[in-house]
Structure 1
Amino acid sequence: MEPMRRSLTHRGTVGPLPVLVAAAVLAAAPACSSPESSDAAQEAAEVLEAEEANAPEGERVATVLADEIEVRSEPGGGEVVHTLASPNDLGADRAFLVREVRGDWLEVFLPVRPNGSTGWIDADDVEITVTAYRVVVDMAEFSFTVTEGGEEVLTGPVGIGTGETPTPPGEYYFTELLRPSDPGGEYGAYAFGLSGFSDTLESFAGGPGQLGVHGTNDESGLGGEVSHGCVRVSNDDIVWMAERLPVGTPVEITE
């Protein structure tokens, strides 16, 4: 319905997968290396290959361990472009969807404007978990699909933004799970915050125009353009998601 308001009650992360992922980096051996160093490099490569083969499949989620985290423009010594607090403004532990791993540095999607922004964080400052879930919202079909490990596990209708307040397409992730104070109200039983923001509303009802995926008290609007940018789903579907999908789950919205 509307971009996320500040009147919702934080429920906390539901069902995070407690799987730690170790990132390893192998330095390439120079062409002039001795047979001993070549053997060592080959052994290291085999170890890395085995670790990658045994690593859980899915998307990496980085949850901040301290009360804030510095986001840099480049891995290592890049300029600090953001310092983000944890918990976030809605009371949830700060989490990021990881885009790339480069040694001890992680490129992550950022919950800031403009949509699709990324930055680099130190892997030592976060805990890494993995989720096999993914949500795809097809605005052309007014539908969503949840997959787990690439297998379809749930589909349903959606309501999306109107022509004046459209839902912006892009790659996002869930930043928090909230329980509305009135489960029979316009946000339905639960609401996930998204890492994206409205392109037309700089602010809304005291908030920054943050997008969300939430239930609804009027399911007749599903299958049409009815919201201020958020994605509406049925209450049954949002309850199913709330019971299974962790913060950090990737959400792709397509036109």
Structure 2
Amino acid sequence: MILLAMLALPPLAVAAPAPDTLEQRLAPCLACHQVKDRNDAFFPRLAGKPEGYLYNQLRNFRDGRRQFPMMTYMVSQLPEPYLREIAGWFAAQHPPHAAPAPVQATPAQLERGRALVLQGDAGRKVPACVACHGAQLGGVAPAIPGLVGLPRDYLNAQFGAWRNGVRKAQSPDCMALVASRLTLDDVAAVSAWLASQRVDETVRPATALAAPLPLPCGGVPAAEGARP
């Protein structure tokens, strides 16, 4: 009787296999780096950043210039063409930014941050952020990242990593040099001002720099011949 009852049941539906798309394969990356309505302090937004920059960071994790065990594990066995494909996919994405978290900073701190970002500090030989990252701070193709929309904690952590030698780039490492010339108060001011800026969703990486880079930067083709 039990067998007859089982035979009378309709066949179970077989789930269709998941589509083998690049987006599907990148689901583990999206789980941290592209969560809707979340501006995570520890997993930065990758969408819309220049392809060359993203490719360089994947190589930096793979080759040990950047330290994060999960990232190193995920990319250590991936071939170069696949790293480029991943970088290209993220560079082409432009989902809306999550709302920024409120920034706790004094007016004087925000003004110092604004001055460093837009004008730099000649006395400390610190170039303005806009001199490298673009007038709208949206990055410059092919290899300079945008700064808009990044959480303050993430910015502080990256400056700290450069200052402590935990994060590195291809030599010459221009950001390590800049970070070494900034005081801790300067870092806090820059991160506060950047994190407090409203994100313009129409901003895209610039196609070229308005002037030569102020410092030589490894991994940035336009940096060749940059002023020391």
**TM, length-normalised to structure 2:** 0.30
More helix by share: 2
More strand by share: 1
Q: Which has the larger radius of gyration?
A: 2
Per chain length, whose mean CA-contact separation is higher, i.e. which structure has more relative contact order (CA < 8 Å, sep 6+)? 1
**TM, length-normalised to structure 1:** 0.27
